[in-house]
């Protein structure tokens, strides 16, 4: 059966509208039953589910709903409080769950699930969980609380990703999210001069005017104080973007390019959104590129299949499987600082020349793309050859169609993007 609730990255929705405590409780129960079945555990076993959440005001209520569902299936809900998504992926023994809507606005929330070993669920796994949503409660579970999950996570990240940052002057934007009480202290401990912003979560300001979805405050901080660079996380901490010493933004493609050259990898996994300029740079350096659908779980799957270590997305997910299991904004930021080798970030970023890109999100009634739109995108891409391309895809989290165009000039990319967006609006708007 096609998935009804799961999208590109877990389940998300506006709280009280398409995401309710009742649904979250059912998800907790279904996921616990699925985990027991997937692990082929003995009858009566007691799966432990580590639960983290971000800083949204709806988080505590939904955390409790998720815990009720886990307990109703005979599992143990282990409450860790506010904890970044990558920490849950690293620390969960059997099943991990994060109450978060990642980079979405405060009125959204959601649930992300991690299987044993920090693996995000496959499409088939998510279908299996959805098939169990109406299974009746059996009860018999329990609720526990853990206090040092954040500390355990930070010790791992510092040990495996940290380096001497003495002399580095850096702005750190935590998006008023899960890293607010954690990330700045890591950079301080490693010797950097740190200027934190977005570290005053109040339940309603996560991702608002700050973080990886809005770099303006970070850019202003870096340029006003004359800092070396700035890094910004999203609300749940699995994404990171940066700005250089001039306040110029770097997307995930540019960050990944710097890391690929500095870390000496021979293969890197990216998604279909990745800039053609990245592909050209990797070809020039004999680094093989594996391309996947959008979603960091697809990147991780490809890396495991290809025995690779490094991958990521333009949106800021960066995965390094040398000492991790999932995308991690803090680990990525530390790797980026280590990879500079004394260079300015602008100098390191200059190794990649990106193709101009234009993007547009078209709000639609249906995300089912008709053949006419796909054919027109293919026609333009064939016509452009190696000079550009068009990508049209439905969002996995919102009722929109995403249009991306690349060309040799900004004007060409914008013109192509506008023509396809107009066609989408005509057919589906």
Model pLDDT for residues 318-365, shown as the tens digit of each residue: 999 999 999 999 999 999 999 999 999 999 999 999 999 999 999 998
Q: Which of 108-112, 289-293, 385-389 has the lowest mean pLDDT?
A: 385-389
What's the pLDDT at 42? 41
Q: Is the pLDDT of residue 46 over 70?
A: no
- DSSP E strands in 47-198: the ranges are 48-53, 76-82, 95-99, 108-115, 119-120, 142-145, 169-173, 193-197
- What's the pLDDT band for 183 if we cut at 50, 70, 90? very high
What's the pLDDT at 43? 46
* Average confidence (pLDDT) over 262-287: 96
* Average confidence (pLDDT) over 100-120: 94
pLDDT tens digits for 276-327?
Answer: 999 999 999 999 999 999 889 999 999 999 999 999 999 999 999 999 999 9
Task: Decide if 6-147 and 357-428 have a common fold.
Answer: no
Q: Does the domain formed by 151-349 have CATH 3.40.120.10?
A: yes
Token pair of 305, please?
Answer: 């299949």
Query: In 3-state terms, what secondary structure has residue 79?
Result: strand
In this structure, what are the phi and psi dihedrals at residue 362, rounded to the nearest 5 degrees? -110, 115
What's the pLDDT at 38? 76
Domain 6-147: CATH architecture, name and number where available? 3-Layer(aba) Sandwich (3.40)
Q: Is the pLDDT of residue 1 over 90?
A: no
Rounded to 5°, the CA angle 91-329-79 comes to 35
CATH code matching the domain that covers 357-428, chosen among 1.10.3720.10, 3.30.310.50, 3.40.190.10, 3.40.605.10: 3.30.310.50
Active site residues: 102
What's the pLDDT at 354? 92
Q: Supply the pTM of this predicted model.
A: 0.91
Q: Is the pLDDT of residue 41 over 70?
A: no
Residue 426 or residue 42, greater confidence: 426
pLDDT tens digits for 140-162?
Answer: 899 999 999 999 999 999 999 99
Q: Which of 39-43, 79-83, 165-169, 299-303 has the lowest mean pLDDT?
A: 39-43
What's the pLDDT at 94? 84
Own/partner pairs for 285-291, CB < 8 Å, 24+ apart? 285/260, 285/261, 287/260
- pLDDT averaged over the chain? 94
Residue 379: CA count within 13 A, CB half-sphere: 9
CA-derived radius of gyration, the chain: 21
Sequence ranges of the domains in the chain: 6-147, 151-349, 357-428
What's the pLDDT at 45? 57
């Amino acid at each position: 059966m096609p998935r009804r609730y799961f999208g590109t990255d877990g389940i998300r929705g506006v709280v009280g509208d398409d995401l309710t405590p009742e649904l979250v409780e059912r998800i907790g129960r279904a996921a616990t039953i699925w985990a027991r079945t997937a692990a082929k555990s003995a009858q009566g076993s007691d799966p432990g589910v580590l639960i983290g959440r971000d800083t949204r005001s709806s988080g505590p209520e939904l955390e409790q709903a998720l815990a009720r569902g886990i307990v109703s299936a005979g599992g143990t809900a282990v409450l860790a409080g506010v904890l970044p998504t990558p920490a849950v992926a690293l620390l969960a023994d059997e099943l991990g769950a994060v109450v978060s809507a990642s980079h979405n606005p405060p009125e959204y929330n959601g649930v992300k699930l991690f299987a044993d070993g920090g693996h995000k669920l496959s499409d088939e796994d998510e279908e299996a969980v959805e098939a169990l949503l109406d299974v009746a409660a059996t009860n018999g579970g329990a609720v526990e609380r853990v206090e040092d999950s954040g500390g355990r996570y930070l010790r791992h990240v510092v040990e495996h990703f940290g380096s001497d940052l003495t002399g580095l002057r850096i702005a750190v934007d935590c998006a008023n999210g899960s890293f607010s009480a954690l990330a700045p202290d890591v950079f301080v401990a490693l010797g950097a001069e740190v200027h934190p912003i977005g570290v005053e979560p109040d339940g309603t300001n996560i991702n608002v005017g700050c973080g990886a979805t809005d770099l303006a405050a970070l850019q202003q901080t870096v340029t006003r104080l004359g800092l070396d660079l700035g890094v910004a996380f999203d609300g749940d901490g699995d994404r990171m973007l940066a700005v250089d010493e001039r306040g110029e933004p770097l997307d995930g493609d540019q960050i990944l390019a710097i890391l690929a050259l500095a870390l000496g990898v021979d293969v890197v996994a990216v998604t279909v959104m990745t800039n053609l300029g990245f592909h050209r740079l990797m070809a020039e350096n004999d680094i093989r590129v594996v391309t996947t659908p959008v979603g960091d779980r697809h990147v991780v799957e490809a890396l495991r299949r290809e025995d690779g270590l490094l991958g990521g997305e333009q949106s800021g997910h960066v995965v390094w499987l040398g000492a991790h299991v999932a995308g991690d904004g803090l680990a990525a930021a530390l790797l980026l600082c280590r990879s500079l080798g004394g260079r300015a970030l602008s100098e390191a970023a200059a190794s990649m020349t990106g193709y101009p890109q234009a993007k547009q999100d078209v709000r639609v009634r249906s995300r089912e793309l008709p053949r006419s739109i796909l054919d027109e995108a293919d026609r333009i891409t064939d016509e452009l050859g190696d000079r550009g391309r068009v990508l049209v895809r439905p969002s996995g989290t919102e009722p929109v169609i995403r249009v991306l165009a690349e060309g040799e000039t900004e004007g060409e990319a914008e013109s192509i993007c506008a023509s396809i967006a107009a066609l989408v609006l005509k057919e589906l708007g």
